[in-house]
Amino acid sequence: MKVSLFITCIADQMYPEVGESVVRLLHRLGCEVEFPEGQTCCGQPAFNSGYRDEAREVARQWIRAFEGSEYIVAPSGSCAGMIRHYYPQLFEDEPEWKEKAERLSARTYELSQFLVHVLGVEATGARFAAKATFHPSCHAMRLLGVRGEPERLLAGVEGLEMIELKCKEDCCGFGGTFAVKMSEMSEAMVSEKARNVAETGAEVLIGTDLGCLMNIEGRLKKEGKTVRVMHLAEVLQKGAERR
Amino acid sequence: MSGAGAKAGDKRKLIGSGLKLRAKDALGNAFLRGAVAFTTDKLRGGRLNAMAEFGNWEAWRERGRAIREHTIRHLDYYLSQFAEGVAKAGGHVHFCASADDAVGVFMEIAGRHGAKLVAKGKSMVSEEIHLNEHLAAAGIKAVETDLGEYILQLAGETPSHLIIPAIHKNKAQIAELFSKDAGRPLPPETKPLADYARARLRSIFLEADIGLTGCNFGVAESGTIVVVSNEGNGRMVTTIPKVHVVVMGMERLVPTFEDLEVLLNLLPRSATGQKLTSYVSLITGPRRPGDLDGPEELHVIVLDNGRSEQLGDPVFQEVLHCIRCAACLNVCPVYRHVGGHAYGGVYSGPIGAVLTPLLQQDMAEAGQLAYASSLCGACWEACPVKIPLHDMLVHLRQRKVGMKLNPPSERAAFRMYKKVFANVKWFRLATRSARLLQRPFVREGQIRKAPGPLSGWTRSRVLPALPERPFRDRWAELKRELYGNPADGGKGPSGSFDGGGDGR
């Protein structure tokens, strides 16, 4: 199966090792991974800030990059959600582009969604002895309906003990430009999230979206907490490499 | 029509003082944050239990949405049917375009009856039109009889939640207010405090010239007013005084009793997790000959005040579907930390963030509320009639941007974003430059103090530095390792890929 990696700008630029884990994981599970080099960003920062025209031009670049793709997989529910939910409406007045947007959005998946529903995989052969907790990301849950897929994949990891996170479905306060524009509100939210993470006693926090993870990790570090923060793909891949 | 008449001037000033300032105030108030989190946690749990116990929640929700959509789409028809029903039952309907009109109608009724005392049931619309201030100015005493509202009246404050108006107060603060009113110390315990309010309010019910209530639903087929409450004050206010005045938003209708049943199942479960509120009062007309109680006159003030502006709007008409259950407030992580007053208007939480700028037709000041959300979508998920509040917030931001109300620096930044991110060559160049520019700020792979717009981030969080090579610069090697070099017949190299070793 041919899979195009939608790296997302944040993984590309800030967390390349997560991108690598995604590629190795998909490769190990039998996918032929390719990386469309024309991709930059999905346009969400502009779209969510109300700059629809700017978002549309960036979206065109994304569509051009992925035009020939069969399956598109992103290590982010937020970026995949942008394509799935908002691309078709972004091109409402341009039938030709709308058609492309709809075709591609139907092929776009968040990683855990793709593993569980397309590949039909839950046991990825990983082993990772640690106490961990999981933060489900808002857009994966609410825009894509990812409910329990990451947890099912984590349940298949040998040696991993999962601890439930209090108020886990509350937003961590990232929200892209929200964290910058409304930094005080965002700070209050991420402080509570970091406190709840610390209270689990977990050694590792696992998530599916790097925006959220960067935010929570940034807060944990500021508070001098030593909780390790990992993307789901790293747990599933590095846990198998170590075997 | 003007949503923000001169009489609403105080609220406008509040909004003018800035969302950020109000939020900062709230964030520094540990009492408030503790009290709001405590109560919303209880309400969240109650709602989830009630949904699970009821079963088929999504199907009920879809029915609720469909009823609201149908009603609002045919609002003109149902308003006229409702008005006929009220009149047929012997009541009077007053359609009011603005807050000032509604206040004028109320004053006219009060004047005609020489009213000196008004007993008020809970009504957010009366807050919206600032009725209490107008009554006070006219020398008419208004007493709130809903316990939460009564507490706030003693404190000289406004509601900070749609259904739990005093959510931001804890028991100790309430005991302090009541003790001051009583002139003797009262303990910070629920029962003695409730007993005190009950005794105080009893005489108000008996002496009031006018009873005022809101309206949860108006049933169009019969002209019936539906009031749900848990304290029984609503029943007292609508039964004892000689005149009953209802103030309601024009969108508060349901076509039939069959539709009402659906919404009465959704409302209390979403609001407090109750199957049913303690009281559901259905009022059709004033007292009839032979009735033992009930008002002699019934007036229904139907308020527009910016609502009809949303009719026909492809995006915002749906905001009129709201049934004011406050489930969106209870799940909102922003509301949880800043409480209701930070929103600066009568309606708070995600629904308030959408409704306030629309009703006030004020994108410059009230429009700031569109940014009081991380767009997490919890409000949409909790809404019993599926209003996509998170999408509406984005649309409000678009409207604000379209009106060029955002700072020029922000507009320039997004123009730059477009230029850079819509072209992969520019993108490569820009991200390479960023790696050079970040150097003075990086210590051990981290940025602890960033300049400019990122300073807010690093005040409370560490920012990871950009690693030397982005993923796209590593791809060629990774591809060669996994899939081999097409030139050597697809055989992969023997050496393993060096992951770069930076980051986490």
Q: Shortest CB distance from A185 goes to which of B337, B434, B470? A: B337
Name residues whose C-beta falls within 8 Å of residue A144's C-beta, 6 or more positions apart in sequence.
A77, A80, A81, A84, A110, A113
3 state SS of A123: coil
For residue B503, pLDDT beyond 90: no
Residue range B169-178, pLDDT digits in tens: 999 999 999 9
Q: Are residues B256 and B272 in the same domain?
A: yes
Q: How confident is the model at residue B493, as a pLDDT? A: 45
The label of the residue with tokens 């110390």 reads: B185
Q: Shortest CB distance from B457 goes to which of A39, A171, A183? A: A183
Q: In chain B, how many domains are there?
A: 3
Contact A187 B461 (CB under 8 A): yes
What domain range includes position B428? Answer: 408-466
Q: Are residues B12 and B123 in the same domain?
A: yes
Residue range A10-39, pLDDT digits in tens: 999 999 999 999 999 999 999 999 999 999
Tally A–B CB contacts below 8 A: 210
Q: How many CA atoms lie within 13 A of B504 on its CB side?
A: 27
Mean pLDDT computed over every residue of chain B: 92
Q: How confident is the model at residue B492, as a pLDDT? A: 45
Q: Are residues B486 and B458 in the same domain?
A: no
Q: CA A110, CA A92: separation in Å to the nearest integer?
A: 24
Beta-bridged to residue B57, according to DSSP, are none
Pairing of strands A2-5, A71-74: parallel
B83 falls within a domain: yes
Which residue, among A98, A39, A49, has the nearest Cα to A73 in the 3D structure?
Answer: A39
Q: In chain B, which among 334-353 make CB contacts under 8 A with chain A?
A: 334, 336-338
B396 falls within a domain: no
Q: Are residues B421 and B295 in the same domain?
A: no
Q: Shortest CB distance from A184 goes to which of B24, B33, B431? A: B24
Beta-bridged to residue A42, according to DSSP, are none
- DSSP annotation of A83: I
State CA B462 to chain mean position distance. 33
B426 falls within a domain: yes
State CA A202 to chain mean position distance. 21
Which residue, among A195, A122, A182, A192, has the nearest Cα to A152 in the 3D structure?
Answer: A122
Contact B462 A217 (CB under 8 A): yes
Locate A239 and state its tokens: 């846990």
The label of the residue with tokens 């959510």 reads: B167
Contact B421 A174 (CB under 8 A): no
Q: List the single residue in B with minimal CA-CA distance to A137.
A: B376
Q: Are residues B491 and B451 in the same domain?
A: no
Q: Which residues of B touch A169 (CB under 8 A)?
A: 378
Which residue, among A120, A237, A170, has the nearest Cα to B333 in the 3D structure?
Answer: A170
Q: CA B274, CA B265: separation in Å to the nearest integer?
A: 9
State CA B402 to chain mean position distance. 24
The answer to whether the beta carbons of residues A174 and A214 sit under 8 Å apart is yes
N-to-C CA span, chain A: 26
For residue B501, pLDDT beyond 50: no
Chain A nearest-CA distance from B426, in A, is: 10
Domains, chain A, with CATH or none: 2-117 (no CATH), 122-241 (3.40.50.1860)
Distances (CA, A) of B269 to A129, A237, B45, B327, B331: 42, 43, 11, 9, 14
Identify the H or E element spanning B499: none
Q: Are residues B424 and B479 in the same domain?
A: no
Q: CA B247, CA B303: separation in Å to the nearest integer?
A: 7
Q: In chain A, which among 114-173 make CB contacts under 8 A with chain B?
A: 138-139, 141-143, 169-171, 173
Q: How confident is the model at residue B487, as a pLDDT? A: 58
Q: CA A44, CA A55: separation in Å to the nearest integer?
A: 7
B14 falls within a domain: yes
Residues B55/B61/B62/B64 CA torsion (nearest 10 deg)? 130
Q: How confident is residue A243, by pLDDT bands cut at 50, 70 and 90?
A: low
Q: Which residues of A touch B377 (CB under 8 A)?
A: 138-139, 141-143
Mean pLDDT computed over every residue of chain A: 97
Contact A138 B376 (CB under 8 A): yes
Q: Shortest CB distance from A179 goes to which of B457, B470, B503? A: B457
Q: CA B351, CA B354: separation in Å to the nearest integer?
A: 5
Residue range A185-218, pLDDT digits in tens: 999 999 999 999 999 999 999 999 999 999 999 9
Question: Count of CB atoms within 10 A of residue B55's CB?
Answer: 8
Q: CA A136, CA A165: separation in Å to the nearest integer?
A: 10
Locate B399 and state its tokens: 């409207």
Contact A173 B374 (CB under 8 A): yes
Locate B46 and state its tokens: 């109650």
Q: Are residues B494 and B413 in the same domain?
A: no
B399 touching chain A per CB within 8 A: yes
Angle at B9 between CA B3 and CA B10, to 5 degrees: 125
Query: In B89-216, which ranges are continuous DSSP H helix?
Result: 99-112, 124-128, 131-137, 147-155, 171-182, 190-207
Q: Are residues B414 and B504 in the same domain?
A: no
Which residue, among A215, A152, A169, A220, has the nearest Cα to A10 in the 3D structure?
Answer: A215
Q: Are residues B452 and B499 in the same domain?
A: no
For residue B338, pLDDT beyond 70: yes
Q: CA B154, CA B37: separation in Å to the nearest integer?
A: 23
As to burial, measured by CB atoms within 10 angstroms (0-12 exposed, 13-18 middle, 19+ buried), residue B410 is middle
B347 falls within a domain: no
Q: CA B170, CA B30: separation in Å to the nearest integer?
A: 11
How big, in percent rounded to 5, are the helix, strand and coil portions of chain A? 55, 15, 30
Q: How confident is residue B452, by pLDDT bands cut at 50, 70 and 90?
A: confident
Q: Are residues B451 and B485 in the same domain?
A: no
Return the percentage of chain B with pLDDT > 90, whole number.
91
B422 touching chain A per CB within 8 A: yes
Q: Are residues B59 and B123 in the same domain?
A: yes
The answer to whether the beta carbons of residues A150 and A114 sit under 8 Å apart is no
Q: How confident is residue A238, by pLDDT bands cut at 50, 70 and 90?
A: confident
Q: Are residues B479 and B446 in the same domain?
A: no
The answer to whether the beta carbons of residues B396 and B367 sit under 8 Å apart is yes
Return the percentage of chain A with pLDDT > 90, whole number.
98
Q: Which residues of A touch B389 (CB under 8 A)?
A: none
CATH of the domain at B81: 3.40.50.10420
For residue B7, pLDDT beyond 80: no
Residue range B263-303, pLDDT digits in tens: 999 999 999 999 999 999 999 999 999 999 999 999 999 99
Q: CA B236, CA B294: separation in Å to the nearest integer?
A: 9
Q: How confident is the model at residue B313, as a pLDDT? A: 97
Which residue, among B144, B139, B81, B110, has the nearest Cα to B299 in the 3D structure?
Answer: B110
B371 falls within a domain: no
Locate A220 and state its tokens: 């944990």
Q: In chain A, which among 67-96 make CB contacts under 8 A with chain B?
A: none
Q: How confident is residue A241, by pLDDT bands cut at 50, 70 and 90?
A: confident
Whether this model's ipTM surpasses 0.85 comes out as: yes
Return the percentage of chain B with pLDDT > 70, whole number.
93
B349 falls within a domain: no
B25, B29, B376: which to substitute to probe chain A, counting the most A Cβ within 10 Å?
B376
Locate A5 and state its tokens: 């990696």
Please give the model's pTM, rounded to 2 decimal places: 0.93
SS3 readout for B292-322? CCCCCEEEEEEECCCCHHHCCCCCCHHHHHC
Name residues whose C-beta falls within 8 Å of residue B489's C-beta, 6 or more positions apart in sequence.
none
Dihedral sign, CA of A68, A70, A75, A76?
A: positive
For residue B396, pLDDT beyond 80: yes
B355 falls within a domain: no
